[in-house]
């Protein structure tokens, strides 16, 4: 567009220059014509005088000098003589005197020159008309070009507007597809981690099955040997008894009793029909849970790292041993919970939860692994009982199937406790993902936040805050992030996180190379709120978290404005940056 205007302007300038030259030429020609007109007037006057002289020949002699002077003046005029055909002049010379002939010739030459000038002026006028017509056509062409350029400019703006709209629609579609792809990748990673966990568990089970099969084979061989030896001893004993009690009539009766003792006795299991026993037990469980088991004395609560007193250590060990003994029994009792009133489920599950929490500070026995896994699966999936046979009656009576739902219960306290138990006992990624999704939904309510603080759930969540749990790491951060929403539970939650366990876990997580940006942003929100508590500055310095935050701030791209603002705010609360730098970064 810009390059097309330059030659058009140059052509207009050239045409203007040529028009100015033509005007100057016309001015010169007009002055020359004026001069010629003046000279023609002089010659006409002289011609009149010549006619008078011809009429008066006597006066010709006296004024001949004047005519000669006039003729000489006419000959000295700027008009140069031009050769023309002189056929008529030659005919008249013979009739007129020599001087008159000379004057006549000069006048005739002037007449011819005037005719030539008149013809030249007419040609010049025609040339001017042609040029004027050409200029009018050029102006019309330029106006048409200008109108065309204006239309092209409008079309260009419309095309750019439509292109921008199409680009925005494309960007929105790309963003939507990107989010869908992220969700699909997240689901794929979760399934892959679950598959890997199941594959690992399957391999372990195969290995255990092979070991148990081998051991079973050895035990069968040993049992056959022992059985053969036992048969030999029994035959020897019978033979000796017969020899010693020969002739005794009671020998046959004793042999029959020995054979009857070999038959195993079948046991029958019955459900206690007295419901008040369960109510009494649940009251005791609730009382023990609230006043004894919930009083956790964690070593991670402070910074001093002082060891507990021997008295409290022995009491804790006693409680842990009792919990280890009770948990298998409690797991077995879950099978009878469908026959118990639903109101009694919550105290029972609460007792199990606090018993599990008592095992956090101690060393769990290896024999508890299968028990805890079974406990978590029963709590997650629920318990379904088809029916129970009462052998005390003459005929068996079967009840309809009954169900006890814990994790899927409609009661929020029972569901919340069940979720925490699943997080404590289960290791499969898909089960953990379900538990964290349920926890995030429950924490959106004020009652869920209150239960989170009541059951001291921070250590349970922090236990999964590690890089080895990549599939659920984002869900773990989301559950903690729900507690940072402005509410009455925010300050107690921050105080519950102000311990060495939480800060040590965050320190290990921040040292992970190539940590996911979203996880880092969410963790920065929690750390920014914790940095507002002045006493936490020692914990930041103890685990060098402030140095890691400074390094992350230095290497973070300025496009990640949200992360930069949180890091600057955290460092400002710790007294490591100035207020003006924080304001400048916030403005950017």
Examine the domain organization and report whether 416 and 492 are in the same domain. no
Examine the domain organization and report whether 561 and 478 are in the same domain. yes
Supply the pLDDT for residue 310: 58
Burial class (CB in 10 A: 0-12, 13-18, 19+), 29: middle
In the chain the first and final C-alpha atoms are separated, in Å, by: 38
Examine the domain organization and report whether 488 and 419 are in the same domain. no
In a domain, 74, yes or no: no
In a domain, 445, yes or no: no
Q: What is the pLDDT of residues 30-55, one digit of tens each?
A: 445 454 444 444 444 444 444 444 34
Examine the domain organization and report whether 417 and 492 are in the same domain. no
Nearest by Cα to 436 from 473, 466, 399, 409: 473
In a domain, 508, yes or no: yes
* pTM to 2 decimal places: 0.51
CATH number of domain containing 481: 1.25.10.10
The total domain count for the chain is: 3
Average confidence (pLDDT) over 283-293: 65
In a domain, 193, yes or no: yes
Examine the domain organization and report whether 330 and 410 are in the same domain. yes
Segment of 35-44, 345-354, 385-394, 537-546 carrying the highest mean pLDDT: 537-546
Q: Is the pLDDT of residue 264 over 50?
A: no
Side-chain-side CA neighbours of 46 within 13 Å: the count stands at 26
Examine the domain organization and report whether 412 and 350 are in the same domain. yes
Which residue, of 197, 215, 233, is where some domain finishes?
A: 215
Nearest by Cα to 370 from 561, 205, 245: 205
Which residue, of 198, 215, 232, is where some domain finishes?
A: 215
SS3 of the chain: helix, strand, coil, percent, to 5? 75, 0, 25
* Count of residues in the chain: 588
- CA distances for 95 relative to 87, 88, 98, 102, 359, angstroms: 14, 12, 9, 13, 159
In a domain, 477, yes or no: yes
Helix H or strand E segment including 372: helix 368-381
More confident residue, 479 or 326: 479
Residue 583 CB coordination number (10 Å) = 12
- Tokens 């020899």 belong to 243
342 with 278: CB under 8 angstroms? no
Examine the domain organization and report whether 412 and 486 are in the same domain. no
Q: What is the pLDDT of residues 120-176, one digit of tens each?
A: 999 999 999 999 999 999 999 999 999 999 999 889 999 999 999 999 999 999 999
Examine the domain organization and report whether 320 and 415 are in the same domain. yes
Give me 150's structure tokens. 């204006």
Q: Is the pLDDT of residue 256 over 50?
A: no
Supply the pLDDT for residue 364: 53
How many whole angstroms separate alpha carbon 420 and alpha carbon 397? Answer: 38
In a domain, 439, yes or no: no
pLDDT tier for residue 565 given thresholds of 50, 70 and 90: very high
Q: Is the pLDDT of residue 577 over 80?
A: no
Supply the pLDDT for residue 348: 87
Residue 538: which domain range? 454-576
Examine the domain organization and report whether 376 and 478 are in the same domain. no
Segment of 54-68, 359-373, 421-435 carrying the highest mean pLDDT: 421-435
Examine the domain organization and report whether 460 and 572 are in the same domain. yes
How many whole angstroms separate alpha carbon 458 and alpha carbon 455? Answer: 9
Give me 302's structure tokens. 């402070």
In a domain, 173, yes or no: yes
Nearest by Cα to 426 from 346, 362, 372: 372
Side-chain-side CA neighbours of 4 within 13 Å: the count stands at 6
Average confidence (pLDDT) over 178-207: 90
Q: What is the pLDDT of residues 377-391, one digit of tens each?
A: 999 988 887 654 444
Which residue, of 153, 188, 215, is where some domain finishes?
A: 215
pLDDT tier for residue 445 given thresholds of 50, 70 and 90: very high
Residue 169 CB coordination number (10 Å) = 10
Examine the domain organization and report whether 317 and 211 are in the same domain. no
In a domain, 442, yes or no: no
């Amino acid at each position: 567009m810009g390059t097309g205007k330059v030659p058009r302007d140059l052509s207009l300038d050239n045409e203007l220059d040529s028009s100015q030259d033509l005007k100057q030429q016309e001015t010169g020609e007009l002055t020359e014509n004026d001069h010629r007109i003046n000279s023609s007037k002089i010659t006409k006057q002289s011609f009149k005088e010549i006619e008078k002289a011809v009429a008066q020949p006597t006066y010709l002699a006296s004024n001949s000098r004047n005519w000669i002077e006039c003729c000489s003046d006419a000959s000295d005029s700027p008009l140069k003589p031009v050769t023309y055909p002189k056929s008529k002049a030659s005919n008249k010379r013979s009739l007129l005197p020599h001087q008159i002939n000379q004057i006549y010739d000069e006048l005739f030459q002037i007449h011819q020159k005037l005719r030539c000038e008149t013809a030249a002026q007419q040609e010049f006028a025609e040339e001017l008309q042609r040029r004027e017509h050409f200029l009018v056509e050029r102006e019309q062409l330029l106006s048409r070009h200008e109108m065309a350029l204006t239309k092209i400019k409008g079309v260009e703006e419309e095309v750019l507007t439509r292109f921008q709209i199409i680009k925005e629609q494309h960007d929105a579609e790309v963003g939507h597809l990107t989010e869908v792809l992220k969700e699909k990748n997240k689901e794929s990673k979760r399934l892959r981690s679950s598959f890997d966990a199941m594959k690992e568990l399957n391999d372990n089970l195969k290995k255990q099955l092979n070991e148990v099969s081998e051991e079973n084979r050895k035990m069968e061989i040993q049992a056959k040997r022992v059985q053969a030896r036992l048969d030999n001893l029994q035959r020897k004993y019978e033979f000796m008894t017969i020899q010693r009690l020969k002739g005794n009539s009671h020998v046959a009766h004793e042999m029959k009793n020995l054979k009857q003792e070999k038959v195993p006795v079948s046991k029958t299991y019955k459900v206690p029909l007295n419901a008040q026993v369960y109510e009494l037990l649940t009251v005791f469980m609730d009382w023990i849970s609230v006043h004894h088991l919930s009083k956790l004395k964690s070593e991670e609560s402070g910074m001093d790292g002082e060891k507990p007193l021997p008295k409290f250590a022995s009491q804790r060990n006693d409680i842990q041993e009792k919990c280890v003994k009770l948990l298998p029994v409690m797991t077995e009792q879950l099978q009878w919970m469908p026959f118990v009133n639903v109101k009694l489920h919550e105290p029972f599950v609460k007792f199990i939860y606090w018993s599990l929490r008592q095992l956090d500070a101690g060393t769990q026995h290896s024999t508890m692994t299968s028990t805890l896994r079974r406990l978590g699966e029963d709590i997650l999936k629920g318990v379904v009982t088809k029916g129970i046979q009462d052998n005390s009656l003459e005929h068996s009576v079967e009840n309809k199937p009954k169900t006890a739902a814990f994790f899927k219960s409609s009661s929020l306290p029972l569901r919340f406790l069940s979720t925490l138990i699943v997080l404590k006992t289960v290791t499969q990624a898909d089960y953990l993902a379900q538990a964290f999704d349920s926890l995030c939904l429950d924490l959106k309510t004020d009652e869920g936040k209150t239960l989170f603080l009541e059951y001291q759930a921070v250590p349970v969540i922090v236990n999964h805050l590690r890089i080895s749990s990549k599939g659920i790491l984002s869900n773990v951060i989301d559950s903690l992030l729900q507690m940072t929403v402005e509410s009455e539970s925010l300050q107690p939650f921050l105080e519950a996180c102000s311990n060495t366990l939480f800060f040590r876990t965050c320190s290990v997580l921040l040292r992970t190379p190539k940590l996911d940006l979203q996880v880092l942003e969410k963790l920065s929100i929690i750390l920014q709120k914790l940095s507002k508590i002045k006493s936490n500055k020692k914990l930041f310095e103890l685990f060098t978290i402030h140095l890691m935050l400074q390094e992350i701030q230095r290497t973070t791209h300025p496009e990640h404005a949200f992360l930069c603002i949180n890091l600057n705010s955290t460092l400002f609360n710790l007294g490591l940056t100035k207020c003006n730098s924080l304001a400048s970064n916030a403005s950017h």
